[in-house]
Amino acid sequence: MIKFGPAGNSASFYAEGHTKSTETPEWLKNRGLDCFEYSLGRGINIGGETAAEIGREAAKCGIEMSVHAPYFINFANPESFEKSFGYIVGSLNVLKSLGGTRLVFHVGSQQKQTREDALKNTLYALSKAADKLKTDYPEFDGCKLCPETMGKIGQIGSVDEIIEICKTDDIFVPCIDFGHVNAREHGILKDGGGYAEILSKYLGELGERAVRMHVHFSKIEYSAGGEVRHLTFADNIYGPYFEHLAPLLIQNRMQPYIICESDGTQAEDAAEMKGYYLGLIG
Ligand SMILES: [Zn+2]
């Protein structure tokens, strides 16, 4: 079954008087949602006990937890390998306490390197990271790392680059952020074209890992350099539109976790996607 949920708490969660993420799982359950992505984007600033408490609530309410790693990770830069790897380990500790198995992360940026060198360095660093996790951190056995497709052109994370990364080790499960793909490619998904090609590429190259892929879905404003900002489902200028993706998920029997990153209405928009999907499968 496909799971739907938000990244972070919606504005309405706080407007209703809730203050703590320990209250999130029950709030999501009451709205018919299935999963939640906890963001460590700005740093790992949650204590182990708090994470475990959220994890216990999530298990009680049947909410699948995932974590988004800090934005400071850059595996394209060989000099920052230890720092980037440290963020991965720190995030996996939180993920374990939350009871989840998926860690989403931004791979890195090209900066002053050629694209080719940046990708080569990234592939090398990530396969080293995967080996190190398997050898030195058996406690994370079963956890998956989800490299994300990125919205800005200078970031490593095109559709093809994420496939290359996932092919280096089976610890990697792709995270396709369709809003990012659309922004990076200046509206390629806006009219519904392009989805089928991307999905068949992932399914062909990665098989079962693509069937159970991680998905981020939100509408995103873009300009020449790609992503500008996250919007809500009220947008009808930039897209993309879930209505174009949903039938393909059914056709290909896919079972992704779909996380909505709308700006403030992420739970409401996740519920809208779930409603639309359930309507199609009748
Ligand atoms: Zn992200």
> How many angstroms separate the CA atoms of 30 and 57, rounded?
13
Q: Is 266 domain-assigned?
A: no
| Number of folded domains that form the chain | 1
Q: How many CA atoms lie within 13 A of 75 on its CB side?
A: 25
Which stretch of 19-23, 102-106, 191-195 has the lowest confidence by average pLDDT? 191-195
CATH number at residue 186: 3.20.20.150
Q: Is 215 domain-assigned?
A: yes
pLDDT at 282: 87
Structure confidence by residue, pLDDT tens digits, 223-266: 999 999 999 999 889 989 999 999 999 999 999 999 999 999 99
At 193, the pLDDT band (50, 70, 90 cuts) reads confident
Q: How many angstroms separate the alpha carbon of residue 117 from the centre of ligand 1?
A: 23
Q: Of the candidates 182, 193, 190, which has an alpha carbon nearest to the alpha carbon of residue 237?
A: 190
pLDDT at 83: 98
Q: How many angstroms separate the alpha carbon of residue 179 from the centre of ligand 1?
A: 11
Determine if the pTM surpasses 0.75: yes
- Any idea which residue has 């999907």 for tokens? 277
Q: Is 282 domain-assigned?
A: no
Q: Is 270 domain-assigned?
A: no
Q: How many angstroms separate the alpha carbon of residue 70 from the centre of ligand 1?
A: 9
Measured from the Cβ of residue 16, the count of other Cβ atoms closer than 10 Å reads 10
Q: How many angstroms separate the alpha carbon of residue 29 from the centre of ligand 1?
A: 24
Cβ-based neighbours of 37, under 8 Å, separated by 6 or more: 5, 6, 7, 8, 65, 66, 67, 68, 104, 259
> Ligand 1 is a single-atom ion; what residues have CB below 5 A from it?
148
Structure confidence by residue, pLDDT tens digits, 119-135: 999 999 999 999 999 99
Phi, psi of 107 (to 5 degrees): -65, -45
Q: How many angstroms separate the alpha carbon of residue 91 from the centre of ligand 1?
A: 14
Query: Is the Cβ–Cβ distance between 192 and 154 less than 8 Å?
Result: no
At 192, the pLDDT band (50, 70, 90 cuts) reads confident
- Domain encompassing residue 201: 3-260
Phi, psi of 220 (to 5 degrees): -135, 130
